[in-house]
């Protein structure tokens, strides 16, 4: 039995792998927020700043995707 990743209920075939389209939306929204928000890295603000500085190309031209 597959379980809904959002709420843990048994998944519905129509909304697989979720139990409902609502849970699918919730999960998708979570995903987007996770991607577009500043990642929490190690929840260390210094690490975040260093990462932002490093990615704002101070002399660095290499693109790592
Ligand atoms: Zn659900």
Query: 14 CA to middle of ligand 1, Å?
Result: 12
Q: Give per-residue pLDDT as tens, 21-58.
A: 999 999 988 887 776 665 555 555 566 566 667 777 65
Residue ranges per structural domain of the chain: 13-55
pLDDT for 38 equals 57
pLDDT for 30 equals 84
pLDDT for 62 equals 62
Which residues have a beta carbon within 5 Å of ligand 1, which is an ion?
A: 4, 6-7, 9, 19, 23
Query: 41 CA to middle of ligand 1, Å?
Result: 28
3-state secondary structure string, the chain? Answer: CCECCCCCCECCHHHCCCCCHHHHHHHHHHHHHHHHCCCCCCCCHHHHHHHHHHHCCCCCCCCCC
State pTM to two decimals.
0.48
């Amino acid at each position: 039995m597959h379980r809904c990743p959002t709420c843990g209920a048994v998944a519905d075939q129509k909304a697989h792998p979720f139990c409902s389209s609502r849970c699918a939306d919730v999960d998708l929204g979570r995903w987007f927020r996770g991607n577009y928000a500043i990642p929490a890295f190690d929840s260390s603000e210094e690490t975040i700043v260093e990462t932002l500085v490093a990615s704002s190309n101070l002399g660095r031209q290499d693109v790592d995707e």
